[in-house]
Amino acid sequence: MKPETKVTLPDTCLVDTLRKVFGFREFRPDQERIVRAILEKKDVFAVMPTGGGKSLCYQLPAALLPGTCMVISPLISLMKDQVDGARANGIRAAYLNSSLSSEEQALVVRDLLSNSLDLLYVAPERFTLNHFQEMLGQVNISMAVIDEAHCISEWGHDFRPDYLSLSALGKLFPNVSIAAFTATATHKVQQDILEKLALRNPFIVRASFDRTNLFYDIRFKENLSEQLVTLLKSNPDKAGIIYRTSRKSVNDTTTMLQAKGFRALPYHAGLDDDDRKRNQEAFIRDEVDVIVATVAFGMGIDKSNIRFVVHADLPKSIENYYQETGRAGRDGEPAHCTLFFSQSDIPKVRFFIDTIVDETERARALGALQKVISFASTSVCRRKTLLEYFGETYPRDNCNSCDICLGTREVVDCTVEAQMLLSAIARTEERFGATHIVDIVTGSKNKKIRDFGHDLLKTYGVGRGHGKKFWRRLIDELLAQKVIAKSEGLYPVLYLLEKAVPVLKNEATVEMMRVQEKKTAKQAGSGQTGTYDHELFDQLRALRKQLANEQGIPPYIVFSDRSLRDMATLLPQSAEDMLSVSGVGEVKLQRYGRQFLNLIRRYREEHPERK
């Protein structure tokens, strides 16, 4: 067991390790404070957004401290990539889980007991085993890390009962730091985690939830297939995830995209294990650009160069939305998050919620859904709304990185049109659905309208100046603003709520957002930071892919997109120059530096004008 004395290291030691091992010149916000707290043997609780660099907070101490850092994580499918990434930086790392054969597990245990590991990743299920905990008594554990700590909270979005056993860590390891990390936790979830883990006077960091490199965009869902094709065409050769609610919609969307020539694969629980693993590997290794998936996908990946995430259906909660969009831009480079929203999606989610037997859980799910609907319907800055949900105040009036703030949505007064719809609903005695009401105001000549005599109503045809899409959007807006409501059942009808009365009396107004064609969210949010040689960048990507294939690892583990972009900007000519590139440490320089420097040298010779 580790001695009780604190480890005091000079500032230069931390900075040197940061540079030599990880290839970074400076810490990201909060990282250094967390590292120092761990080295001082304090317990730590840190809420850090995805892409905030939480793994460095424990990998750097693991590289400095004698003994083994044990990381408990629920993400078995991610462990290999995490270990490959640590090893690529020269850290002695391994994982121990059910994916290994008994012989492979025995080798890991041998290395662990011989003090030959800096890092060991295990699942919470293994930690609960008595014989495993007994074995840990023979190991010099330098620190214990709990990743995805929100899984211990029943108020979190991904509660896992096995996490409850982790409260024993403090008793098992009384003399080492226990550090818990999560990317999503409200203040209520945070308090629950602290109580359940029984952390000892922990150093608490609640980093900003603001992912400044992400652009948030919410669009009306009209012709989804066409909208997805357009979006993918605007992101050629870029990695992205499209989330769908059901297995069928995943399969249908994948088939449609493949027919259009896109490199896309499906991922959902209905696929057998081999197919699911093969598709995930193809995406991680840049062999396909797009994965179409249910929310089962994502918890097991650490791919840093995902440039866009699309929600083609409503997410279940704000936490889910934040976690899923957070899989974009983990390398800190610009990424785009698009949600296609229609009020017609709500009953689909309600159907699943209504099957929940426990009344408390069902009420919680309904409340979470309502917050998502409000987020999608609001005309307030998306970033401000997201941060407020997590108890954080956004300091600026304009984030300049969402559809609202960039003016891609214009608020227009639709009071007169709303009165037309409300009058049509009232005059038909609140007995008809949205399609029929729209047919009345647009003057449809269909048989159902004539049979009911609705072509004789005062409101018949009053809305011919707008197309049916406009009227459906306005109905969605009236539903969102709770001016009208929709009944349950197979054939839902529209009916008026209390707010409809002042609108009809001209005592209240109705405003609706509309898309401005002059400035699209795509144009606003797709710019890259800085200037770099795109042709060289593509060649560097090809070399990265070749080296990754040879070693059987994902390309982003060789170098991130940001590292390649730095190379394509700085055009390094020597090993010393290469060390100035973000993400290039001494081990990666030794392992890959020569190949990349040779490629850059040849490129400079072939393009002397670009020197």
State the residue for tokens 């074995």: 135
Predicted local distance difference test score (pLDDT) of residue 459: 94
Q: What is the mean pLDDT of the segment spanning 130-144? A: 92
Mean pLDDT of the chain: 88
- Higher pLDDT, residue 405 or 308: 308
Task: Give the pLDDT band (50/70/90) at residue 526.
Answer: very low
**Cα gap 12→497, rounded to integer Å:** 66
pLDDT digit string (tens) for 357-368? 888 888 888 888
Q: Which two tokens stand for residue 28?
A: 């990201």
Q: Report yes or no: 89 and 563 within 8 Å, Cβ to Cβ.
A: no
Q: Give the CA distances from residue 68 to residues 3, 348, 356, in Å, rounded to whole numbers and listed in that order.
A: 13, 48, 43
Q: Which two tokens stand for residue 608?
A: 């002397």
Q: What is the mean pLDDT of the segment spanning 547-553? A: 92
Over pLDDT 90: what percentage of the chain?
55
Can you give the three-state secondary structure of 109-121, one letter per residue? HHHHHCCCCCEEE
Q: Which two tokens stand for residue 494?
A: 């529209």
Q: What is the mean pLDDT of the segment spanning 233-240? A: 93
Q: What is the mean pLDDT of the segment spanning 483-495? A: 85
**Cα gap 350→245, rounded to integer Å:** 12
Residue 86 has pLDDT above 90, yes or no: yes
**Cα gap 592→323, rounded to integer Å:** 33
Q: Which of 249-258, 289-298, 559-568 has the lowest mean pLDDT?
A: 289-298
pLDDT digit string (tens) for 309-361? 999 999 988 988 998 998 999 888 899 999 999 877 887 788 888 888 888 88
pLDDT digit string (tens) for 93-114? 999 988 889 999 999 999 999 9
Q: What is the mean pLDDT of the segment spanning 493-501? A: 94
pLDDT digit string (tens) for 360-412? 888 888 888 888 988 887 777 899 989 988 888 998 888 999 988 887 666 78
**Cα gap 411→513, rounded to integer Å:** 4
Predicted local distance difference test score (pLDDT) of residue 452: 93
Predicted local distance difference test score (pLDDT) of residue 187: 86
Residue 402 per-residue DSSP state = B
Number of H helices and E strands in the chain, helices first, is: 27, 17
> 243 φ, ψ to 5°?
-95, 130
Residue 576 has pLDDT above 80, yes or no: yes
Q: Report yes or no: 119 and 64 within 8 Å, Cβ to Cβ.
A: no
- Higher pLDDT, residue 2 or 156: 156
Predicted local distance difference test score (pLDDT) of residue 7: 55
Helix (H, G, I), strand (E, B) or coil at 410: strand
Query: For residue 157, which of 8, 392, 317 has the smallest C-alpha distance?
Result: 317
Predicted local distance difference test score (pLDDT) of residue 316: 87
Predicted local distance difference test score (pLDDT) of residue 298: 52
Predicted local distance difference test score (pLDDT) of residue 480: 74
pTM for this predicted structure: 0.76
Contacts of 83 by beta carbon, 8 Å cutoff, 6+ apart: 93, 94, 95, 119, 121
Predicted local distance difference test score (pLDDT) of residue 528: 45
Q: What is the mean pLDDT of the segment spanning 191-198? A: 90
Amino acid letter at 405?
Answer: C
Domains, the chain, ordered by start: 11-206 (3.40.50.300), 214-408 (3.40.50.300), 411-515 (1.10.10.10), 534-610 (1.10.150.80)
- Within its chain, how far is the Cα of 314 from the centroid? 14
**Cα gap 438→209, rounded to integer Å:** 42
pLDDT digit string (tens) for 26-64? 898 899 999 999 999 999 999 988 777 889 999 999 999
